[in-house]
Amino acid sequence: MRVDVISIFPEYLAPLDLSLIGKARRSGLLDLHVHDLRTFTHDRHRTVDDTPYGGGAGMVMKPEPWGEALDHVADQEDSRPILIVPGPGGARLDQSLARQLAAADWLVFACGRYEGIDERVYDYAQSTYDVRVISLGDYVLNGGEVAALAIIEAVARLVPGVIGNAASLFEESHEDGLLEYPIYTKPEQWQGFSVPDVLLSGDHGRIAQWRHQQRLDRTAARRPDLLPPELAGAPEDLVVGV
């Protein structure tokens, strides 16, 4: 998978050199390119913003640098990339959308700052990109970089080979609609807390059943909205492993 990120703060994307994403870059699984939007300005002050037409607070990101940056990125390949513009007004990222994006060959991220990007950039990009506005949730960040990091991590870890043990992708929260079961490791006793006996039993059938029930209980307690319709609204003690 190829990923391009355009930002006025390219150093914000430095964490992508770390851990599993960094390893995927070095192995060639992830072809990541970060671009400084100011590269595509031509004035002495490398201006990327200006006052809003119609008045209002704050500044708007000028269309010209974005147009040049998007043309520069896209003209290196002949396929049609997905352009992701993180924003609070977009489609909310969830595991299903992350899986969809993980199937793409090429993602390009436009990280807005200030009050946002001139609307004509979204219109202009349509001819070359599949434009998507994606939100992390109903709260406002100062810029798209943090959202881009989150989306890239959620997507890249689903690319085959990025996570060494693919089995660990299953039974994660939201992978199949339920939250994950509690996990434990050594020591058996810690600060007066014990590991549940069933996990020490060696009875894999009982362990699987206990873990499934734990997932149902946790989902009923923390995210009842995720429960399947047949269980939605059932009192917690009746959400029995099905």
Ligand X SMILES: Nc1cc(-c2cccs2)n[nH]1
- State the residues that interact with ligand X by CB under 6 A: 86-88, 112, 135-137, 139-141, 143-144, 147
In the complex, minimum distance from the CB of residue 153 to ligand X, in angstroms, rounded to a whole number: 15
CA pair distance 38, 183, nearest whole angstrom: 46
> Nearer to ligand X by C-beta: 135 or 214?
135
> Nearer to ligand X by C-beta: 93 or 104?
93
> Nearer to ligand X by C-beta: 48 or 239?
48
> Nearer to ligand X by C-beta: 57 or 242?
57
Helices and strands, number each (H, E), in the chain: 6, 9
> Quick check: bond before 187 cis, omega within 30?
yes
In the complex, minimum distance from the CB of residue 183 to ligand X, in angstroms, rounded to a whole number: 29
CA pair distance 226, 242, nearest whole angstrom: 15
> Nearer to ligand X by C-beta: 81 or 87?
87
CA pair distance 184, 181, nearest whole angstrom: 10
In the complex, minimum distance from the CB of residue 143 to ligand X, in angstroms, rounded to a whole number: 5
For the record, the structure tokens of 157 come out as 């870890």
Residue 168 CB coordination number (10 Å)? 10
Environment class of 80 (CB within 10 Å of its CB; exposed 0-12, middle 13-18, buried 19+):
middle
